């Protein structure tokens, strides 16, 4: 693997066309410089199922297939907003879905990638919600509803989530330090890359570098590993 790029928390939606433009521009500029792209969750603000083939979702698939055709191998990991992305979307977009977390070798560096929300163990309400919506029973029931009802439910859940997050302390919504330290001690990676918290920074954990990706809004963020040079980059949108 010559050069890895990782992004997360782009939160694409038809209501934020500037993010779609930024995503398309980033892919165009990255096509020649990276060999592997990893999207570590929350590519979309909301995803209610692969059968919701509206014009916006079709546009994103077209952007991805233009990038992946004869271009970098591209992988996607589920986030807390787009965990219902399935193989139908992946096949049509030319990407591959990975489990979370996932371990890979990047030029001799043991690297673990993740959305990162599984480490937010202080946020008990969120973890309960995460466990519920990741269950096969909940997803089967949700996907059995028509698209209009699913959109209504998803918008309600998003609104409730924003309200709840605004009332929580920054410590609660960040990764738990003890859980993170234990995870890194057990797995011993050279590099751990994740998103979710929207707090971009490079942390040092003994011999491990933990790179936290930022969300895309006024700025975009990506991590690059070229040879063994590791960087966390910000760019204006």
Q: Across-strand partners of 235? A: 220
Q: Which two tokens stand for residue 192?
A: 């751990």
Q: Which residue has the tokens 């991590």?
A: 223
- pLDDT tens, position by position, 175-234: 999 999 999 999 999 999 999 999 999 999 999 999 999 999 999 999 999 998 999 999
Dist CA 54 CA 75 (whole Å): 22
Contacts of residue 160, Cβ cutoff 8 Å, sequence gap at least 6: none
**Alpha-carbon torsion angle 220, 102, 74, 32, nearest 10:** 70
Dist CA 37 CA 73 (whole Å): 6
Dist CA 71 CA 173 (whole Å): 36
166 CB-contact burial (10 Å; exposed 0-12 / middle 13-18 / buried 19+): exposed
- pLDDT tens, position by position, 112-139: 999 999 999 999 999 999 999 999 999 9
Q: In CATH, which superfamily holds the domain spanning 3-124+169-236?
A: Metallo-dependent phosphatases (3.60.21.10)
3-state SS class at 97: strand
pTM: 0.95
Dist CA 84 CA 47 (whole Å): 6
The residues spanned by each domain of the chain are: 3-124+169-236
pLDDT at 161 over 90: no
């Amino acid at each position: 693997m010559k050069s890895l790029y990782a992004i997360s928390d782009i939160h694409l939606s038809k209501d934020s066309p500037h993010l779609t433009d930024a995503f398309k521009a980033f892919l165009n500029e990255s096509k020649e410089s990276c060999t592997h792209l990893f999207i570590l969750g929350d590519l979309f603000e909301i995803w209610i199922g692969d059968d919701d083939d509206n014009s916006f979702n079709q546009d994103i698939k077209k952007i991805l297939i233009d990038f992946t055709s004869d271009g970098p191998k591209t992988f996607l990991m589920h986030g807390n907003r787009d965990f219902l992305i399935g193989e139908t979307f992946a096949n049509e977009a030319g990407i591959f879905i990975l489990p979370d977390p996932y371990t890979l070798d990047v030029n001799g560096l043991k690297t673990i990638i993740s959305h990162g929300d599984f480490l937010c163990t202080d946020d008990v309400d969120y973890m309960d919600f995460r466990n519920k919506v990741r269950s096969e029973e909940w997803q089967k029931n949700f996907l059995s509803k028509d698209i209009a009802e699913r959109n209504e439910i998803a918008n309600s859940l998003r609104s409730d989530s924003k309200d709840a997050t605004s009332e929580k302390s920054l410590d609660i919504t960040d990764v738990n330090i003890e859980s993170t330290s234990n995870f890194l001690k057990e797995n011993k990676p050279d590099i751990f890359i994740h998103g979710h918290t929207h707090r971009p920074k490079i942390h040092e954990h003994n011999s491990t570098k933990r790179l936290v990706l930022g969300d895309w809004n006024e700025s975009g963020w990506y991590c690059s590993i070229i040879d063994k040079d590791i960087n966390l980059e910000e760019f204006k949108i």
